[in-house]
Chain A
């Protein structure tokens, strides 16, 4: 009926089409999932700002520029005014630096915002709140990765719902160690290495040690009461503190 050659063609062609379909399915099904596609997004910014220089070498604390992250849902990108706090007086080293700073100064003088490209973005139907996480003693690097080593910032964690829930269910696996010494807490950036440098550690006044409250982030607006720390073996434990809700309406409201 059919020639041997046609029969062979059908078989080989079917195999090739099947293989291509399988590869396309694999790529579409896995390759474009948010945890694969979003991680490593490293756009070019209008000003080539380096976190490695500012946060890593100069040890400027995150909240100097991202002030408001601990009191609001949104962690703000700094205004040009914040940049100019230093850059109005710091003189650039050479022409290359001067050209980079010029974009900033022009925008500042024209009263026009710099259009930074957004990298980290949860979907619009999910509500992530920075202040709640900072008050739960979770530091920035847990979600944003080693920002202080990034010359150009890229997304480091997938920011998917599964990734959120992993940590809400068992934070002790993902939130590394104790947080009172993290930068969020003392205002000194990643001061783990300076932990034993007594100059940077607050020493309480002896007469007040007995009656003093434990050092925790204050509830904002109130200086009377501290959030009672729930600790496991001396380490503040977010899960035991009742933080990390798993109900849908915690994030989707």
Chain B
């Protein structure tokens, strides 16, 4: 057996190995085309699945808007507008979540997820990504002004928004928002109720 044959055999083995690895899925093959299904297997059925297109409706959306004047079951719409600060002081009744590690951890989770892009993990807003990305003067949550706000006022700002800040009522349910208030108060070192709202139990 000469050297030429050995080289040919090696090339053949390498090609066979490559084919075997591709066919067994060990080598990832990027494609912009949707995968071909030789046997469709009822993978795609004619039914409405979330956020898919749907030819049944004229606007081609599977997700339907609620009928006017109705509220979806389980929804907690926040009805106050951005300017309704005075109403919010009395309308938002602090449920006084217990100041346990559990509630604070939940508040921290939601704060880090939704608040930290602008206000940063420590609430100071200086090192946050949005400040770095040419959005100046995001108010600090550790400033005396924010510390002086009542719990109901902070809940109102989270729920309805303020200035350039949008509403987060669609992303967090009411209990989660109160947990965020609880966690923020913990970070600020504001103890007790700085709230002007009644402190009775919501339940």
Residues of A participating in the B interface, judged by any CB pair closer than 8 Å? 26-28, 30-44, 58-61, 63-64, 67, 74, 76-77, 81-82, 84-86, 88-91, 113, 115, 118, 121, 123-125, 154, 158, 185-188, 199-200, 202, 204-205, 208-209, 212-213, 215-216, 218, 220-221, 223, 226
Contact = CB atoms under 8 A, between A and B. Distances in A.
A36 B23 CA distance: 7
Nearest to B44: A124
B35 A212 contact: no
Interface stretch (B4-12, B26-34, B86-94, B145-153): B26-34
Contacts of A31: 22-23
Interface string B27-51: 0111111111110011111010111
B32 A42 contact: yes
B121 A188 contact: yes
**Top 10 A-B residue pairs of the complex, sorted by shortest distance between their CB atoms:** A187-B112, A212-B101, A30-B23, A37-B35, A123-B43, A187-B113, A124-B45, A74-B50, A36-B25, A187-B109
Interface in B172-202: 172-173, 175, 179, 186
A109 to B, nearest CB: 16
A32 B104 contact: no
Contacts of A188: 112, 116, 121
Interface of B: 19, 22-25, 28-38, 41-45, 47, 49-53, 61, 97-106, 108-114, 116-117, 121-122, 129-130, 133-135, 164, 166, 170-173, 175, 179, 186
Given A32-B38, A36-B25, A61-B112, 14 more contacts: A31-B22, A37-B35, A44-B32, A67-B170, A74-B51, A154-B28, A154-B30, A187-B113, A205-B104, A205-B186, A209-B101, A213-B100, A213-B102, A223-B98
Given A33-B25, A202-B108, A223 B116 contact: no
B30 A218 contact: no
Given A37-B36, A59-B129, A213-B102, A76 B51 contact: yes
Contacts of A44: 32
Contact of A90 (B19, B134, B172): B134
A205 B99 contact: yes
B99 A90 contact: no
A107 to B, nearest CB: 13
Contacts of A202: 101, 104-105, 108
A217 to B, nearest CB: 8
Contacts of A61: 112-114, 116
Contact of A185 (B45, B101, B109, B122): B109
Contacts of A60: 117, 129
Contacts of B50: 74, 76
A235 B108 CA distance: 21
A204 B111 CA distance: 16
A148 to B, nearest CB: 14
B23 A28 contact: no
Contacts of A125: 42-43, 45
B109 A41 contact: no
B71 to A, nearest CB: 17
A199 B117 contact: no
12 contacts: A26-B19, A26-B23, A31-B22, A32-B35, A39-B25, A64-B113, A124-B49, A202-B105, A215-B102, A221-B175, A223-B175, A223-B179
B89 to A, nearest CB: 24
Contacts of B105: 202, 215
A209 B99 CA distance: 12
A174 to B, nearest CB: 16
Contact of A186 (B22, B32, B112): B112
Contact of B100 (A32, A84, A212): A212
